[in-house]
Structure 1
């Protein structure tokens, strides 16, 4: 009987602990757990005030994991967040979110990718506003000639792009650039640049001071003095069909409004290198896609 009581007590304790956690899904192929933990360096994500990168590579995914937790807490959701890597979650597949099997995703998503699912998904206020997402045309570091290609010669350039990445695809199609369509892994596309099957690939700017992207020992740099604006906004999404969806969405949006008013969102995007001061004077390749107010700045 004693063991039965202990067993029941343990089960109750486990269930109580589980109820005190908020499970947030993240792509298993992009878990970022090592770099996320390195960035926190023992800190609570709620205590993060500086968003400068401490690791190489893209930093925005880690910052989103932190900002999501800060927004939820400020909005009244105080449970511990536990990240749950799921192979079924990818950039344009939201079946678990739509069915209610998943509650919330740790990554922001393009508004265009989920606009047809707004009946099943709550869409937060914008984390990245229209016009804030900038990217460079990355070429191999050894290709010195392409690094300084003048903008008026961009019609000579071949750039690999996935047509399923609709925002990237639309941005590139509003230029004179020659697009090579490829549906497949990001790494394979980058390898096409490495092997000179194509000249370049559209990638958000690296956080390094020289904008260098180092991937598996291979180095890539953006074509100098030109950049592209990806014409959409990015948002967190919450399932409407999950029992906790309405409550979590309300907390998330309340918190995002507070972070926006405090200037934390823009600060995080700037300090993380997502909005890069290094390219602020570079020229837009797709200038015509900017809102008039943005283009006039």
Structure 2
């Protein structure tokens, strides 16, 4: 009888093990911003290549590029960490607003883009926080003004207290950075596009925007051009991370694979190369004056 029981148990072990693993035929669903243009730019960026084999991150599309790079890095990290299911990006309206309620509830697994550590630190009981994709001190932005507002193009740092910058107080990292600079802040809670309209119509003089990947750093939106104030940059004093739901059934497994893979990518230099090739760490502003350098830990000052 004992031999029969042992035999039955041994037969059932593979079934129990398989039950603990997600079916390989099922995709790993990742939330992404709801934007047809955004999805189109991702496919254009890939140019038909397998994202797991991509090693050239130079931009070939207009607009912000970091989101596209992160979609690729996310897939490569998961695969290197042992999560071999195919990733399927699905648009979700809540991602546009950067809400975390679906992740906290376990209705979503993870986001396709990184988020500021400061924004999610209070949710650490419900969310796994990955190794940093963007480290403290690597995120730099410019004070963008209308190209038509020529008088501000070469404004020196000592005259920043004469201009106004529109900012959303809900963007905590931007808000803290700007509040550590002697300038005038116009608080505005609303669409990013409306803030650009305010700059175009000179209701506000400038807006904090990560540097464009164009050759001359010009950002074009709706056929209107915006340029950064020359030789001045703002450091965003925080790190960015992927987040995974702790309440989702796959959360712990996916988080472990993601963190392992990110560590491998960091050691191989892939993450830094991707950030530099994509223009996110922009060589064109390497020697520009960081007007809020004092906000960074002193251990980082040497490499800036």
Same-fold call, TM cutoff 0.5: yes
Partner SS, residue 32 of structure 1:
helix
Determine which structure has more spread, i.e. the larger CA radius of gyration: 2
Deviations 1:119-143 (A, max 9, x none): 0000000000001000000001111
The counterpart of 2:64, out of the listed 52, 58, 61, is: 58
- Contact 1:91–1:109 (Cα < 8 Å) also in 2: no
Distance 2:225 2:130 in 1: 36
Q: What is the CA distance between 1:57 and its match in structure 2?
A: 1.2
Deviations 1:229-258 (A, max 9, x none): 011000000000000000000000010000
Distance 1:91 1:155 in 2: 31
Structure 2 partner of 1:136:
142
Q: What is the CA distance between 1:27 and its match in structure 2?
A: 1.8
| Pairwise CA RMSD | 1.4
Structure 2 partner of 1:163:
169
- Contact 1:29–1:87 (Cα < 8 Å) also in 2: no
- Contact 1:126–1:235 (Cα < 8 Å) also in 2: yes
The counterpart of 1:97, out of the listed 78, 103, 107, is: 103
Partner SS, residue 111 of structure 2:
coil
Distance 1:18 1:34 in 2: 27
Partner SS, residue 84 of structure 1:
strand
Distance 1:91 1:226 in 2: 29
For the pair 1:116 / 2:117, whether they are aligned, the reply is no
Q: What is the CA distance between 1:214 and its match in structure 2?
A: 0.5
Query: 1:1-297 maps to which residues of 2 (within 5 A)?
Result: 19-29=25-35, 32-297=38-303
TM-score by length of 2: 0.90
Q: What is the CA distance between 1:296 and its match in structure 2?
A: 3.5
Check 1:228–1:91 CA distance in 2 against 1; reply closer, same or farther (3 A cut).
farther
Deviations 1:32-68 (A, max 9, x none): 1100000101101011110000011110000000000
> Which aligned runs of 4 or more in structure 1 are off by greater than 2 angstroms?
16-20, 89-92, 293-297
Distance 2:229 2:56 in 1: 29
Structure 2 partner of 1:10:
none
Distance 1:222 1:190 in 2: 13
Distance 1:146 1:247 in 2: 51
Partner SS, residue 284 of structure 2:
helix
Q: What is the CA distance between 1:91 and its match in structure 2?
A: 4.8
Partner SS, residue 139 of structure 1:
strand
Distance 2:271 2:129 in 1: 17
Q: What is the CA distance between 1:30 and its match in structure 2?
A: 7.7
Q: What is the CA distance between 1:92 and its match in structure 2?
A: 4.1
Structure 2 partner of 1:5:
none
Distance 2:269 2:250 in 1: 28
Distance 1:224 1:126 in 2: 29
